[in-house]
Chains A and B, each alone.
Chain A
């Protein structure tokens, strides 16, 4: 079953002659993992913005579970698609403890509670920091917490936007492995090939707004 269908997506912005995205088309099956690579300015982030409704395409269509993405309410869309970017402080409540962060994430996701074992699955040792304020975690731990908050109820589609680029290689490995184990369909956006997990089915390359 197709989870995501993108047909001839073109994005133009006023004052820029060349389209940011030009006739981009690809599909993503449920539970499929793909990677989208490309240099800075190739249109990766703009594509994500179109997917999450922050930008409206000039032409073409995006279907999520067979329905036009614009037909979903923002709340419903955010339930189906979650993003994890490179700035971990954007994805956690820094002034709350790890436990409070997880409790809120569980409550919002409609999950009765979370277990320490779940946190250990995301990153070994994370459950030792339950009482620690998120602001006091290291970058890798914070990114792991952000991932745990998302994966407590895995979304239909997880977009990983250069999510390991700001952390060291060991922490990045934990994050990639946890994503492989727990996430459903995912799109990994990167400009570094070593960030792509082994379970990735396809690698799409975006060049100057076009898929090559």
Chain B
């Protein structure tokens, strides 16, 4: 049970980091990830079927997911459509596209190579997640990172400074959805199948875990970089809390049909508490 839970945490972490990037750094709530979480494994699965090597299929699947983010960025360009609505629209279209790519609602992967073929799958997931974390934290302090943080902080000033701020949006959402795609591929690899509905609600779970993680970070540290880096680490704690709670509830015999209701209510309570503490922080 613990190993299964750990694997779930590891495969979900890239997704949580992607949501953290869009939600906390870019300050865009991107719902496209519901669709791109499935798009990547759908492309991944079909390419494996066509005989592509596993790494190539994985990279192309992740690239497809990132491209979905770019499409969302183009739809919401200059906020002509609200980012929330743009994400829902693209995610809605992706549902059909994913079904089209898969050719059927459920695609088994047991006959194809797996990430755990050489080493234990848990070790591979761990290595991938650690690698993503290092690149992510390195990216935050890079010029690209400060550009993306500047976009989240004041995108209109970027425009005033003659910068193409929409490029930031495209790059940011590309990274965010690529990370969701990685999680999607790892989840498919772990579960041995791709299901066209496997992305339903993952964005909410992702936002929930990010909110839980952010609750644990000391607010308004002097250095924004230290705060962001700490927050991205605490997002992992948030993911761990979420999946362990879910695992405990299942073990305790909670009906799976009631699970989403229970978790939804719990996340709502967490989010309300988060917004209250933010308001208190601003007033103090």
Contact = CB atoms under 8 A, between A and B. Distances in A.
B157 A136 contact: no
Interface of B: 143, 146-147, 149-150, 152-154, 156-157, 159-164, 220, 222-225
A67 interface: no
A211 B237 CA distance: 63
Contacts, number: 62
Contact of B224 (A103, A108, A133): A133
Contact of A107 (B143, B149, B157, B223): B143
Nearest to A77: B162
Interface SS of B by simple majority: helix
A78 interface: yes
A75 to B, nearest CB: 4
B153 A96 contact: yes
Contacts of A65: none
23 contacts: A75-B162, A75-B164, A78-B159, A78-B160, A82-B160, A90-B154, A90-B156, A92-B154, A93-B157, A94-B153, A94-B154, A95-B152, A95-B153, A97-B223, A103-B146, A104-B147, A104-B150, A107-B143, A108-B163, A109-B161, A131-B222, A133-B222, A136-B222
A79 interface: yes
The 8 A-B residue pairs with the shortest CB-CB distance in the complex, in nearest-first order? A95-B153, A93-B153, A75-B162, A78-B162, A108-B161, A93-B150, A79-B162, A93-B154
B152 to A, nearest CB: 7
Contacts of A105: 161
Interface of A: 75-76, 78-79, 82-83, 89-97, 100, 103-105, 107-109, 131-133, 135-136
Given A78-B161, A96-B153, 16 more contacts: A78-B162, A79-B162, A90-B154, A90-B156, A91-B157, A91-B160, A92-B157, A96-B149, A96-B150, A100-B146, A100-B150, A104-B150, A107-B143, A108-B162, A132-B222, A136-B222
